[in-house]
Structure 1
């Protein structure tokens, strides 16, 4: 025995059910797997279609006068930017004797600073030989420009130092002349002036020597910088591995496609709001899940899976046949998103009941799934809804209909006053499930339970409602129906947005009605 509990308010419901979201995304694995596979194929195709042009590379050792051990790469970055100037490009084109414009040539090469003094140059061309020639010319042009700049800088520095030295020499000559014009006497002031001139002469001699040495060092340092700037790695073609590029691009495309597919599946699941869990479907329909069945496969299955599917179908047929047999009112099967599976289930139940007496299947489906089904000799007759009135009262009727959008709700009661909903998981939205429950309640059609088609195999939620009309219908509604003379056992009232309210006892006893529940 279980106690009756009040349903939780909608405000207490979580904003996002992660378990339902994960299940919904997993059920859409065909979508994100297809997008991932498409990304893989597109990535591999791009590696084949977008082949890189022939490329050659060379490395240049660049010596700088301002080299410091703690340099952060500023000098080599400056060299990279200088490489991308029209002056270097024009010099290289002159070496190649090419009429190409420097602006166009600059788009076909790039420089990369590998270390503080090592520059790598990559050039593309129409062929490997042309790329190698371009790389060599560009490296030579850069080295020549760098050497020219170093020499000009050294000459400018030496000239400035020598000019300063010459000015000091002129000043020294004036000091020497002043010393020669003055003779030491007994005047203390004259003696002090001569001493200051001698001190100034000594200072000028020292500075002249220093400037001369610095000018000489500037001249001597330039050959070292010139010799240090050279091509250390001759131009050579860059080999591209097509299999490696294809595998790399395919892997990137696979990851991007998988991420995009998962994102689309997740967003679609949240926006569509299609319940897939047992508890969600049961709560939205207001009826418990009494049985489950895998969707009919469209391709051959493995033998062990086929045996399990047949066993599950036989248990479902036994359960529904017992339900129909024990009911004093006509029972119908109403499908939502699984007309083909419902047709097969209805024929199997009708065959099971045919051993006890005549049975007629009333076809209320909008499509030809049941009317054009392959029937075996001796199978129960299938009649349309228009001919159902001509069926004798002593013949048991099993109605088959649909609760999909566009259903004529007033015709459903003619199929049966009690019904079993056959619902495919993830097909109907939560709003439509509420609509189905409300419409069936308005038509006073009691829902015996829900048969879930194509459930998620990892769903561990409970699809049983313990505290409402559902248990009464599944358990002891037949007993109450007999007591009430075959009338409706409960007054069902639709309130709010598809929520069902029933007058029910505080204590409810759940009686297993199927073999699966008994186990």
Structure 2
């Protein structure tokens, strides 16, 4: 049996990780919550500071000659359009004796077709009484215009029918004249001609009667349409409730603000490309997540969470103290976005190690974040690192934030633990940190994740990333042999013994996308 040695291509990474997007948006809840709160306040302020003007409403029943059961609302839409004309507005202003311009008055009212025959008119004014008067004038003007148009249409139709009747009567008179006193009992030729004239006379008499009937029906239908067009709901003022307006505007503002905030958070997350999940941070730094910690609150903590916070703090302290002991040389804690948390962690770890021997903390943090405790280990600045006694354990504290002096990191410790706040650094900057530490021959023991997402279920362990933590093993072994110190045999990142350094640094251990950042 032949074994294939062809390597399968790695699956392509998705263009958009929905899990990471949801987690990042949830972590930015302060942003979309603030935008939603801003929308709520804007809605309340709009309801209080800009109340709706006094308004009135009335309803008019409109009868149409062309009404059909299957009408789609074309007729009532035509009525709404006619209501918004200068002719109706001018007639209403003439009734009110108002000097306003029809064009301006048209902006203060609107019509709405509720059904095929029901028209609602909404009018706004400076007071309720004026709004009611304007609504009544508009309704009366519209009804009068509609009735006039119906009557004009009926009169025009009746006149056209009567004109046709008169033409028929004229032709009938000519036919009667042609017939004269002749009788159809004469010769055969005369008989055929007279019969056609008699038939034509009978047809003309029938059509004249029909035109008379249709003209009468046209005039008879007009009163029905006039009576059917009327005001069915008299003008009345519309009373606005301030509490209801406040609640409605607040709900609408909150919903819009929430949507806008979520969109901004999602867009900002995609554009910023800040890893939040354990697996993403570990992959970008090339080191496993060995511990986690909550970000300490700025002022206070809930009483029911103090016990849990103390347990997490104790577990983190024990884990890092064990890692520092196994390193066998100076170890540094390098922070990214969590200087205060890193300072507290360094003091706790140093206090634990101080029970076994002297410990000196080398402060390389920018700013006054690290302050020595009265009964704690000694804290010195980075300039005095050469004064550390040889028998004292050195614990450096520094930063890998933008602007870091990369060549000074090796003086804080031969190995390092990265303390990274989730969602703080971009993927490009995490690549830069990993590349710069590799160039300085400072291996990364592991990553301490600060403020992780509580719903993150991803694994932050790199099962093929132990070479990253053991980079520079031969150089450290040579330095120990020259100093007469034995090799450390403590377990580190799951390794029971030191692993040999590969002949060449694999390209996969450090992402290539950092070459631009360098």
TM range (shorter): 0.7 to 0.9
1:445-489, Cα deviation, whole Å (9 max, x unpaired): 222211111111111111112223358759x99997878956896
Partner residue of 1:499? 510
Are residue 432 (structure 1) and residue 429 (structure 2) matched? yes
Given the superposition, is the C-alpha separation of residues 16 and 483 from structure 1 closer, same or farther in structure 2, using an over 3 Å criterion? farther
Are residue 108 (structure 1) and residue 104 (structure 2) matched? no
Shift of 1:164: 2.4
Q: Is the 8 A contact 1:289 1:464 kept in 2?
A: yes
1:421-461, Cα deviation, whole Å (9 max, x unpaired): 11111111222222222222222222221111111111111
Q: Structure 2 unaligned runs (5+)?
A: 1-6, 489-497, 513-518
Shift of 1:267: 1.7
Q: Is the 8 A contact 1:286 1:470 kept in 2?
A: no
Partner residue of 1:80? 80
Structure 1: distance between partners of 2:186 and 2:313:
139
State the SS of the aligned residue for 1:13: coil
Given the superposition, is the C-alpha separation of residues 101 and 145 from structure 1 closer, same or farther in structure 2, using an over 3 Å criterion? same
Q: Is the 8 A contact 1:447 1:470 kept in 2?
A: no
Give the 5 Å matches for 1:41-52: 41-52=41-52
Q: Is the 8 A contact 1:442 1:494 kept in 2?
A: no
Q: Is the 8 A contact 2:443 2:469 kept in 1?
A: no
Partner residue of 1:57? 57
Shift of 1:71: 2.2
Partner residue of 2:440? 443
Q: Is the 8 A contact 2:467 2:501 kept in 1?
A: no
Q: Once superposed, which parts of structure 1, at least 4 consecutive aligned residues long, lie more than 4 Å away?
A: 7-11, 470-474, 476-498
Q: Structure 1 unaligned runs (5+)?
A: 1-6, 502-519
Structure 2: distance between partners of 1:242 and 1:159:
57
Partner residue of 1:358? 358
Structure 2: distance between partners of 1:242 and 1:305:
43
Structure 2: distance between partners of 1:412 and 1:70:
83
Structure 2: distance between partners of 1:55 and 1:281:
61
Please give the TM-score of this superposition, normalised by the length of structure 2. 0.88
Structure 1: distance between partners of 2:465 and 2:393:
29
State the SS of the aligned residue for 1:189: helix
Structure 1: distance between partners of 2:181 and 2:403:
127
Structure 2: distance between partners of 1:172 and 1:28:
93
Q: Is the 8 A contact 1:162 1:212 kept in 2?
A: yes
Name the stretch that deviates more: 310-319 or 193-202.
193-202
Given the superposition, is the C-alpha separation of residues 153 and 466 from structure 1 closer, same or farther in structure 2, using an over 3 Å criterion? closer
Give the 5 Å matches for 1:35-46: 35-46=35-46
Structure 2: distance between partners of 1:185 and 1:445:
137
Q: Select the structure with the greater relative contact order (CA < 8 A; seq sep ≥ 6).
A: 1
1:233-263, Cα deviation, whole Å (9 max, x unpaired): 1111122233333222222222222222112
Alignment equivalent of 1:384, drawn from 381, 386, 408: 381
Shift of 1:136: 0.6
Partner residue of 1:453? 450
Structure 2: distance between partners of 1:135 and 1:67:
26
Shift of 1:195: 2.4
Q: Is the 8 A contact 1:277 1:456 kept in 2?
A: yes
Given the superposition, is the C-alpha separation of residues 468 and 104 from structure 1 closer, same or farther in structure 2, using an over 3 Å criterion? closer
Are residue 415 (structure 1) and residue 412 (structure 2) matched? yes
Structure 2: distance between partners of 1:12 and 1:158:
81
Structure 2: distance between partners of 1:494 and 1:27:
36
Instruction: Give the RMSD, CA atoms, in angstroms.
Output: 2.8
Given the superposition, is the C-alpha separation of residues 487 and 500 from structure 1 closer, same or farther in structure 2, using an over 3 Å criterion? farther
Structure 1: distance between partners of 2:81 and 2:407:
81
Alignment equivalent of 2:400, drawn from 403, 426, 451: 403
Q: Is the 8 A contact 2:444 2:468 kept in 1?
A: no
Shift of 1:279: 1.4
Give the 5 Å matches for 1:191-340: 191-340=191-340
Q: Is the 8 A contact 2:287 2:469 kept in 1?
A: no
Please give the TM-score of this superposition, normalised by the length of structure 1. 0.88
1:348-398, Cα deviation, whole Å (9 max, x unpaired): 11212222222211111111101xx2x443221111112221222122221
Give the 5 Å matches for 1:74-153: 74-153=74-153
State the SS of the aligned residue for 2:329: coil
State the SS of the aligned residue for 1:268: helix
Partner residue of 1:165? 165
Given the superposition, is the C-alpha separation of residues 38 and 367 from structure 1 closer, same or farther in structure 2, using an over 3 Å criterion? same
Structure 1: distance between partners of 2:474 and 2:35:
50
Are residue 342 (structure 1) and residue 342 (structure 2) matched? yes
Partner residue of 1:14? 14
Given the superposition, is the C-alpha separation of residues 479 and 166 from structure 1 closer, same or farther in structure 2, using an over 3 Å criterion? closer
Structure 1: distance between partners of 2:12 and 2:171:
97
Structure 1: distance between partners of 2:84 and 2:418:
74
State the SS of the aligned residue for 1:137: helix
Structure 1: distance between partners of 2:459 and 2:185:
125
Structure 1: distance between partners of 2:511 and 2:189:
124
Structure 1: distance between partners of 2:508 and 2:333:
24
Q: Is the 8 A contact 1:448 1:470 kept in 2?
A: no
Given the superposition, is the C-alpha separation of residues 163 and 321 from structure 1 closer, same or farther in structure 2, using an over 3 Å criterion? closer
Structure 1: distance between partners of 2:250 and 2:375:
58
State the SS of the aligned residue for 1:436: helix
Q: Is the 8 A contact 2:332 2:415 kept in 1?
A: yes
